[in-house]
Homo-oligomer: A and B are copies of this chain.
Amino acid sequence: MFYHVKELQYNAKPERPDPVYAKKLQEILGGQYGEMTVMMQYLFQGFNCRAEQKYRDMILDIGTEEIAHVEMIATMIAQLLDGAPAKEQEEAAKDPAVEAVLGGMNPQHMIVSGLGATPTDSVGYPWNSRYTIASGNLLADFRANLNAESQGRLQVVRLYEQTNDPGVRDMLSFLIARDKMHQNQWMAAIEELEQQQGEVVPSTFPKNLEKQEVAYSFMNFSEGKESAKGRWASGMSMDGQAEFEFDESPKPMGQIPILNPSPNYVHGTPI
């Protein structure tokens, strides 16, 4: 169960309205790697957790924090939308600056939400839950989480570069720090799990049932060999079980597929 306190986790006080920037900021609220994504991803991972209680507790702690991040960014966007000009009210309609603002805004910020944040990304695409994963295998999921915090911090940093409002930057500097912690956190949890079960997900599938011949070879499906120069093409594999191989010109190992004609009741192409 959850409780709310009225204060934000950190300040969300822009120095001045900026409806065009409000549109961009939506990306880290309702985008593929926005706060709604990590919030729902962590909550579902926690609710579904069948592992040790310390994991469930940790995941739900961070999930609960993310709800507060959604709250902060939504609050910021609402304030950035203050003073968005409506064409008619303003004599200034022919003023190019006003026009630029109107053109650069998300029209739904005016028409649909009436100057409020929307649960969408920077092009207005609605958030959907296929952005999230809770697989029941924590090593797999913590990799998803590390990725989400990496993509997310990258996007926040890019948004930081696109404004010079000190209030906005202050809030973003908080989020950038938390995303650094969250990357560290998932790396720590991943290290813990990898030490227990090994690096490959899932660790419980019997090795003898997998096609060993192709389990450690890099296949070069192009002309030229630049791809041989990386760590992935030679040396000990990361799971410490074999040497990487470089297969310079991989050959097909399968059949030429010939499908049966379709039965009459399918009304496929007559033969």
For A75, what are the chain B residues with a Cβ–Cβ distance below 8 Å?
47, 257, 259
- Whether A92 is near chain B, meaning CB under 8 Å from some CB there, is no
Contact assessment for A265 and B89 in the assembled complex, using a CB-CB cutoff below 8 Å: yes
Ordered by A's residue number, 24 sampled pairs between the chains whose C-beta atoms are within 8 Å are A1-B9, A3-B4, A3-B5, A4-B63, A9-B250, A33-B133, A44-B118, A48-B117, A50-B116, A58-B233, A60-B221, A60-B222, A75-B257, A99-B100, A100-B103, A118-B129, A123-B124, A125-B130, A136-B266, A139-B269, A143-B143, A143-B147, A144-B151, A176-B209
Determine which of B51, B191, B227, B238 lies in contact with A268 in the assembled complex, contact meaning CB atoms within 8 Å.
B51
| Range, interface on chain A | 35 or more
When A192-B231, A211-B173 are in contact, do A180 and B200 touch as well, CB less than 8 Å?
A: yes
**Bound-complex Cα distance A10 to B223 (A):** 18
For the complex, give the distance between the alpha carbons of A35 and B172 in Å.
Answer: 30
Please give, as numbers and ranges, the residues of chain B lying within 8 Å of A100 by CB-CB distance.
96, 99-100, 103
- Within the complex, what minimum Cβ distance (angstroms) separates A209 from chain B? 6
Of all chain B residues, the one with the shortest Cβ separation from A258 is B53
Mark each residue of chain A from 107 to 139: 1 if its CB lies under 8 Å from any CB of chain B, else 0: 110111111111111111111111111111111
Contacts of A239 in B (CB 8 A): 180, 183-184, 187
Query: Least Cβ distance of A103 to chain B in Å?
Result: 4
